[in-house]
Amino acid sequence: MHSPAQPKYHPFPPVNLPDRQWPNRTQTKAPIWCSVDLRDGNQALAQPMSVDEKLEYFDLLVKIGFKQIEVGFPSASQIEFDFCRRLIEENRIPDDVSIQILCQCREELITRSLEALRGTKHVVFHLYNSTSPAQRKYVFNADRAAIVKIATDAIALLKKHGAALIAAGTSLQLEYSPESFTSTELDFALEICEAVTDVWQPTVENKIILNLPATVEYATPNIHADQIEWMCRHLTRRDRTIVSLHTHNDRGTGVAATELAMLAGADRVEGTLFGNGERTGNLDIVTVALNLYTHGIEPGLDFSNINEIREVYERCTRLEVPPRQPYAGELVFTAFSGSHQDAIKKSWSVQKPGQPWDVLYIPVDPADIGRSYKAIIRINSQSGKGGVAYILEHEYGFDLPKAMHKEIGKLINDLADTSGRELTSAEIHATFQREYLDRATPVAIKQFKTAETDSAVHCAATVIIDGQAHAVTAEGNGPIDAFVRSLAGTGLPKFEVQSYSEHSLGKGAEDKAVSYIQIKTDRGLTLYGAGTDTNIELASIKAIVSALNRVLAKGA
């Protein structure tokens, strides 16, 4: 890095807007959305989409609910032209969807683009030219007046050549972009937008779209919002204008810049799914739309099956959605931290249908966007007892007593620490099974039966200890008490039952029950055991044997 940073770099100049209104506003509705995946996104791919992939992607965008879709730059290449024609000739465009095309301000490109649009019902014709001081100096070697003339001449040409298309029944809407708007002097951006509007003469019924792109993100989001509010307040035909945003993400704040600019008065947002675009990308429409959704604002786009959308996106673009990408990333609904896992488990357990969503650390119900609950909590060496208990309950049905969480949590944490990696839910379940349910040595129960007398319960059992069978009997105030008393003469450690709980592992009559029993030995060691059986009484006896085997394994 260059040191010091100055004079090589300098702060972006602020906007003189002391009475700015956007900080006090609240977003109450979704903007008009326009997907630019098939043009702006596609040009950023190392391997652009094939025609078939673009068709599949177009269908996906329609399914999501986009009503404006930029389909390409038909004057730039034959492939782009043919794709546009195929959409129209194969009647693939729904009646309520406008296709948008991009075009530079040159006559031959405008006429070629109009040829590509013959027969379409609704089109947004997007013209642009660069306006910033650096573009004027280094690219065009032109002054302000010459740059304005490029734009106004192009609008006049579109108005002239587009008349036949309109006469044939096409609804044509103009979009104009002073490209590099955010690095253009505001007074000049206003001047050129006003000049374009003068030529086009929009109406309230057919408004002009003035797209104000952050072609390169230079400023902080608050300055971007100031720029948009300044323009909205100075446009003389605001009632006949749709102010549109097109933010890139060079500073990593494209979403924030868009959200603040909507508060500043913007009506429309252009972007791509998951932010695909040149350099660090375009605006991620998925994030902005679902941010609105989590605030109770209907976004007008359907992301209820985000996994399918991600699958089509990744296959067609050959890009991968990062694991921590908001909403769609593999790990965004996953907690590894033990304290987070415990908080999620506790808050989720009291969440009731119909109540406002209030689960800690998870701002949206994963089910609303087609995500699975199973991946919410995953386990590594940073995880805690709450996460392990959550997995055993929600994936395998074992609702462990609270005091047992610490035991199983430490076992799993030690395993994860040793392996140095994340553990799968299957590995967690297998460890629980092995540690508690499958222990058959040195103690095993071979036979067990009870009979009630007038004042007690009598038990008779055959217990295998170190391979030797022991017939034991005793009476107690219940099956568990009787069995514990029956072991007194076997040489096993003396213990008492501290706690007992049980529940069904299913809903049918033939489903197994599970019992959890905590014992405390005369040496002060306290451990849990667990047992399962279709007979709840036998499940509890197996839980005692499980706890004893765990005690003996520790040499106590």
For the stretch 513-550, pLDDT in tens is 999 999 999 999 999 999 999 999 999 999 999 999 99
Which residue carries 């013959």 as its tokens? 118
Residue 302 burial (CB count, 10 A): 13
Residue 233 burial (CB count, 10 A): 14
Per the CB < 8 A criterion, the answer to whether 67 and 98 are in contact is: yes
Per the CB < 8 A criterion, the answer to whether 260 and 8 are in contact is: no
Helix axes 385-396, 402-419, angle to 10 degrees: 100
* Residue 226 neighbours by CB under 8 Å, 6+ apart: 14, 15, 17, 20, 22, 264
pLDDT in tens, 213-239: 999 999 999 999 999 999 999 999 999
Element (H, E) at 515: strand 513-521
What does each C-alpha distance from 24 to 21, 27, 254, 295 come to in angstroms?
Answer: 6, 10, 21, 17
Q: Residue 486 and residue 458: Cα distance in Å, rounded? A: 10
Which residue carries 């049905």 as its tokens? 397
Q: Residue 236 and residue 281: Cα distance in Å, rounded? A: 33
What does each C-alpha distance from 201 to 193, 207, 305, 374, 523 come to in angstroms?
Answer: 12, 9, 42, 56, 92
- Residue 352, token pair as written in the block: 């009731």
> What is the per-residue pLDDT for 455?
84
> What is the per-residue pLDDT for 375?
47
Of 266, 258, 261, 243, the C-alpha closest to 288 is 258
* Cis amide prior to 442 (ω within 30 degrees): yes
Burial class for 96, CB neighbours closer than 10 Å (0-12, 13-18, 19+): exposed
Amino acid at site 303? F
Q: Residue 2 and residue 437: Cα distance in Å, rounded? A: 63
Pairing of strands 268-271, 457-465: unpaired
pLDDT in tens, 238-252: 999 999 999 999 999
Q: Which residues of the chain have pLDDT under 50?
A: 375
**What DSSP state is assigned to residue 463?**
E
Task: Sketch out the chain's domains with CATH numbers.
Answer: 24-317 (3.20.20.70), 338-437 (no CATH), 443-553 (3.30.160.270)
- Residue 197, token pair as written in the block: 């509007």
- Residue 121, token pair as written in the block: 């019902």
Q: Residue 93 and residue 62: Cα distance in Å, rounded? A: 8
Of 71, 75, 74, 101, the C-alpha closest to 87 is 71
The model scores a pTM over 0.85: no
- Residue 526, token pair as written in the block: 């306290």
Residue 504 has, within 13 A of its CA and on its CB side, a CA count of 6
- Please give the order of strands across the beta sheet that includes 443-452: 443-452, 457-465, 468-476
